[in-house]
Amino acid sequence: MTSFTRRGFVASASTVLASSVVGLKPSFSQSNYPNRPITLICPWGAGGGTDATARIIGQVMEQKLGQPVNVVNRTGGNGVVGHAAISSATPDGYTIGLLTVEIAMMHWQGMTELTPKSYTPLALMNVDAPAIQVKADSPYKNIKELADAIKAAPPGKLKASGTGQGGIWHLALVGWLQSLGLQPNHVAWVPSNGAAPGMQDLAAGGIDIVPCSLPEARPMIDAGRAKSLAILAPERNPQFPNVPTLDEQMGPHKSVGVWRGIAGPKGLPADVQDKLVAVLRDVYDSKEYKEFMSGRGFGIQWAEKAAFGQFMDESDRQMGEAMKAAGLAKA
């Protein structure tokens, strides 16, 4: 049982009273952080790419901090449940989470009031750009030929898939079509439960285009049933060196893609932020993390604190523009 001296109790009560008078929140700053296990919330289910990324980050964090880092999957509401759990956690550094691109999408869809500004950004860890896939025996030899065919086709003739209506890859296609001067629905979108079934439909000839990440397309590409014409990114993916960028073939282009980064609730103390950012940089630079991510074809990209916050704000702006253009944003 913990005991308190009368003097200690009086000092503590005075501190609480003073804080309430000036409207301040209690400080969670601590010089010996961390001195107990950390929970890392993953807003998506076990076995997926986000879960795998969270677990390698947690594993290397444990090695660097000397404290357990427990990955907890908080699923539901298309990502809302897990993201809400990160935002509402006590801001002491013992509960952090892996934010995903959906935090820049869900509020536009009317699913939550959470936005990127609902968190203390710590570090961007992963970015995967979309690539444009067509059937292996498609007549299009490069992305420019496909773009010309899309422009020449009547609206709705060509079909694309790879996620649900308003999902990240749908928005990537919308952005590309807009850059071509076309309406967002010029290529009809066929909703699917993800990139894998979309790629299967592509190989079977049911659709014409799948915009998704190269790691997701890889099984069908390796099987010789699909080919990638371009990656919508400034640089080629080192794991897919033969896939040119859209920029190389058609000039500079901004595109949305999937990303993942570590954040905490708002109000995280500065010294705790600094400790977490330092260890996350060690994770990012580690051989274990780089080999794990590159082995799966996942892209890695670093931005810390304010830079990560700016990255999320830009992603939020892009998502809003794309959703409004496609008629998918709720008032």
Q: Give pLDDT tens digits for 207-250.
A: 999 999 998 899 999 999 999 999 998 889 888 999 999 999 99
Sign of CA dihedral 176, 179, 183, 187: negative
pLDDT band at 84 (very low <50, low <70, confident <90, very high): very high
Q: Give the model's pLDDT for residue 30.
A: 63
**How far is Cα 101 from Cα 115, in angstroms, rounded to an integer?**
11
Q: pLDDT tens across 113-140, in order?
A: 999 999 999 999 999 999 999 999 999 9
Query: Is the confidence at residue 55, as pLDDT, over 60?
Result: yes
Residue 161, classified by CB atoms within 10 Å of its CB into exposed (0-12), middle (13-18) or buried (19+), is buried
150: nearest Cα among 171, 181, 192: 181
Q: pLDDT tens across 57-76, in order?
A: 999 999 999 999 999 999 99
**How far is Cα 31 from Cα 103, in angstroms, rounded to an integer?**
31
Query: Is the confidence at residue 85, as pLDDT, over 70?
Result: yes
Alpha helices in 66-179, H assignment, sequence order: 80-87, 143-152, 168-179
Helices (H) and strands (E) in the chain, counts: 11, 11
Residue found under tokens 């253009």: 325
Q: What is the pTM of this model?
A: 0.80
Higher pLDDT, 119 or 328: 119
Q: In what order do the strands lie in the sheet with 210-212?
A: 210-212, 131-135, 226-231
**How far is Cα 279 from Cα 261, in angstroms, rounded to an integer?**
14
Residue 185, classified by CB atoms within 10 Å of its CB into exposed (0-12), middle (13-18) or buried (19+), is middle
